[in-house]
Amino acid sequence: MKDLSGFNATKPTDLTALIVCRVSDKSQLKGSGLDSQEYRCRQHADAKGYPVEEVFYAAKSGGLPLFERNEIQQLLAHIDANANSGKRYIVYFDDHKRFAREAEYHMQLRRVLGEKGVLVDFLNFTPEDSPEGKFMELVFAGQAQLEREQNARQSRQKSIARLEQGYWIFRAPVGYRYEQATGGGKVLVIDDVLGPIVKEGLEGFATGRFNSQTELRRFLESRPEYPKDMADGQIRPQTIVRLLGKEIYAGLISCDKWGVSVREGKHEGLISIETYERNQQRMREGVYAPARKDIKEGFPLRGAVCCASCNKPLTAGWSTGKYKKYPYYFCRTKNCSMSGMIPRQKIETEFEELLNGIQPSRTVFEISRAMFKNCWEQFRRDTADSIKAVHAEMSAVEKQIGGLVDRIVEATNPRVAKAFEKRIDELDRKQLVLREKAANFGQPAYPFDQMFELSMRFLSSPCNLWKTGRFDLRRMVLKLTFSGHIPYCKEKGFLNTKKSFPFRALESFCGHDCEMVRAERIELSLPKETGF
């Protein structure tokens, strides 16, 4: 009966050696781990007089099943390819721990190699073909498995403790990088280049600057510094979903697989918790204003202007003439009285006149400044009461959490306990939002004069932004100036435009007889560095 274990009492001298070298992590490739293993195995084979025919390397097993590991597949394939050559092989491993990850797999591989007539030798342990020797090999294999599992448990416990203290331990998300922490270990810090880009994108989605995930994706794709995950320079839609769902950008961390509930992290958030929650709400509700892929820079009004007759948005494109192409906007609705082409030059010139016509007068600005200033001061006076209300709500939430904890202790049904835990997690998130709100109440990001002047800078001259020619600024003008589609008639031009709330508010300050400036421009005393 063939010896299935691969042992022989006396090893012959006409063997050919094969060497398997493996490290458990790619980072270990930077050292001399594989070279050292190969050197020691070659040295051992030379001492026995066995020529080395092949060396198999593995940088990482990656948790794969035994016979799916590359080095094992290559080893067995080489042995099978030379099965009829008359050679007898002995396989060298630097350490028995590198042979297999578990005792069961260790013995399984030994059995497979034994069936092929292949011997196995470890530099730190020589297997013997005896009941005691086989037992000792099994003990060593079990000990190696125990040591590996204990190390994994210890590593996991340390990782959980690090997470519970508020430190992120996984790969740094886009917008952050790792730096050495003062007390040891590493901590996330905002990347100087990518951090502001991610912040602008997340806040833009929350405020409605980006009406959809598609618009956010295009914004990120337009920034050359932002990493792309497709060869053609595009970003996968699922990447945007993951970006919006990462609470780490709000300064929070959690890890469901290890039972670490949400908590404040030791790193600085790129956005506020309130902004993060607003993004989650927008994603749950769905976005119903997708950005078309065919909105090109050459046709900024596409999707914003509609036909005054059929109310369908105008399309746009190029018409081929005899010698060159000409740009047009189109109404393609059948049987529409305005169906046909509208020259781009005509409609965009009339649109600039429309923007010039809604510029508020100087009197409106003076009145609005006084009214906004009164509202600003009144808000500051009411801050104390607002903070009290927030603290009262925080106390109520804390009381709810305490009540739920008591009910979890009493719960005997695992599903009920799970539901309580989910509710506690929701209340914890609400508590974090309230805490952030209480800390920031009455603390404006900028002084009143600066915020007012920045706002009025746009409201006083939207046409100037439009004339810059920048596509992103033109789209911003459309979003901030009008609240809906802008009707257009071939004969009468733009009709019944619905201005956005800021422009309607400015008009209402002076009543229905408020005049709008057409020819002159309002000059504001705004520092150059804050201008557009």
The distance between the two most distant Cα atoms of the chain, rounded to a whole number of Å, is 111
Q: What is the pLDDT of residues 111-149, one digit of tens each?
A: 888 888 888 888 877 777 778 777 777 777 777 778 878
Q: Which pLDDT does position 149 carry in this prediction? A: 81
- Model confidence at 244, pLDDT cuts 50, 70, 90, reads very high
- Model confidence at 516, pLDDT cuts 50, 70, 90, reads very low
Query: Which single residue is written with the structure tokens 């080095």?
Result: 71
Decide: 322 and 330 in contact? Cβ < 8 Å.
no
| The residue type at 221 | E
What is the pLDDT averaged over residues 493-514? 67
Query: Which single residue is written with the structure tokens 């930077």?
Result: 30
What is the pLDDT averaged over residues 434-459? 66
Q: Which pLDDT does position 410 carry in this prediction? A: 75
pLDDT exceeds 60 at position 336: yes
- Model confidence at 392, pLDDT cuts 50, 70, 90, reads confident
What is the pLDDT averaged over residues 80-88? 88
Q: Identify which of 253, 113, 96, 55 has the alpha carbon closest to the alpha carbon of residue 173.
A: 253
Q: Which pLDDT does position 190 carry in this prediction? A: 93
- Model confidence at 173, pLDDT cuts 50, 70, 90, reads very high
Cα distances (angstroms) measured from residue 193 to each of 176, 196, 249: 9, 6, 15
pLDDT exceeds 90 at position 174: yes
Q: What is the pLDDT of residues 63-79, one digit of tens each?
A: 556 667 778 888 889 98
Q: Which pLDDT does position 360 carry in this prediction? A: 67
Instruction: Return all residues near 116 (Cβ < 8 A) that are at least 6 apart.
Output: 76, 79, 80, 83
pLDDT exceeds 50 at position 446: yes
Q: What is the pLDDT of residues 298-333, one digit of tens each?
A: 788 888 889 988 988 888 888 888 788 888 998 888
pLDDT exceeds 80 at position 293: no
**Tokens encoding 504:** 């309607």
- Model confidence at 52, pLDDT cuts 50, 70, 90, reads very high
Q: Which pLDDT does position 66 carry in this prediction? A: 61
Phi/psi of residue 481, each to 5°? -95, -35
From CA 77, how far away is CA 109, in angstroms rounded?
Answer: 14
Q: Identify which of 354, 241, 303, 243 has the alpha carbon closest to the alpha carbon of residue 471.
A: 303
329 burial level (CB within 10 Å; 0-12, 13-18, 19+): buried
From CA 216, how far away is CA 525, in angstroms rounded?
Answer: 33
pLDDT exceeds 50 at position 365: yes
264: left (phi over 0), alpha (psi -120 to 50) or beta: beta
Q: Is the C-alpha dihedral spanning 213, 214, 219, 221 positive or negative?
A: positive
**Tokens encoding 391:** 């603290």
Q: Specify the 3-state DSSP secondary structure of 344.
A: helix
Q: Identify which of 33, 104, 41, 109 has the alpha carbon closest to the alpha carbon of residue 69.
A: 109
Question: 256-270, 376-390, 499-513 — which is least confidently predicted?
Answer: 499-513
Mean pLDDT of the chain: 78
Question: 43-52, 184-193, 284-293, 495-504 — which is least confidently predicted?
Answer: 284-293
Q: Specify the 3-state DSSP secondary structure of 35.
A: helix
What is the pLDDT averaged over residues 208-219? 84
pLDDT exceeds 60 at position 13: no
- 453 against 430, higher pLDDT: 430
